[in-house]
Amino acid sequence: MPHLFALLILSLSLQANLVDSQGWERSRSVAESQHEIVMLLIRGKAFDKVLRASQEIFSLRFPYNQEHLFVTEGQILSGALYDHQQYELAQALLDQALRAVNSNNSKALLYKEKAYLCKQEGKTDEAMELFEKAVELEKSAP
């Protein structure tokens, strides 16, 4: 059964008008395969290889109207890492996703995800700062 990210990419691939269709299809296909590689690395506890492999996803060119897929991917992968008690790695992966997005809404969602992880770890001061950063971004979004 394909993962959520792969299904999202497939369902939205026809809507990508901002990047040439061949380039988008190639990026979509690479992201789908690379997502599975990262999930297998996590499942196999090859945590030392996760950031390098996930960077392959976050360095792809996605159309602006599809950048929310980077947010979803960050949420899925960081959640999988969190489930394996890889808290610092989950935060580093979300930092990769943050560098891949441009919109304030996407950044706000990723800062909230980082905050949720901190909150679950009992890092309330850090969580508060991240939630405040998310609020600032949301207020400044068009």
Residues 6+ apart with CB under 8 A from 98: 74, 107, 110, 111
Residue-range definition of the domain harbouring residue 89: 4-101
Would 60 be classed as within a structural domain? yes
Residues 6+ apart with CB under 8 A from 47: 41, 81, 84, 86, 89
Would 40 be classed as within a structural domain? yes
Would 142 be classed as within a structural domain? no
Across the range 45-74, mean pLDDT stands at 94
Give the confidence band of 39 by pLDDT, cuts at 50, 70, 90.
Answer: very high
The angle that helices 4-12 and 21-43 make with each other, rounded to 10 degrees, is 180
Residue 51 has pLDDT above 90, yes or no: yes
Residue 114 · residue 133 · CB < 8 Å: no
Question: What whole-number distance in Å separates Cα of residue 50 and Cα of residue 38?
Answer: 6
SS (H, E, C) 41-107: HHHCCCHHHHHHHHHHHHCCCCCHHHCHHHHHHHHHHHHHHHHCCCHHHHHHHHHHHHHHCCCHHHH
Query: What is the number of structural domains in the chain?
Result: 1
Report CA Rg, the chain.
15
Residue 114 · residue 137 · CB < 8 Å: no
N- to C-terminal Cα distance for the chain? 37
Would 69 be classed as within a structural domain? yes
Would 23 be classed as within a structural domain? yes
What confidence tens digit (pLDDT) does each residue in 83-127 have? 999 999 999 999 999 999 999 999 999 999 999 999 999 999 999
pLDDT at 96: 97
Would 123 be classed as within a structural domain? no
Give the confidence band of 10 by pLDDT, cuts at 50, 70, 90.
Answer: low
Would 114 be classed as within a structural domain? no
pLDDT at 18: 45
Would 129 be classed as within a structural domain? no
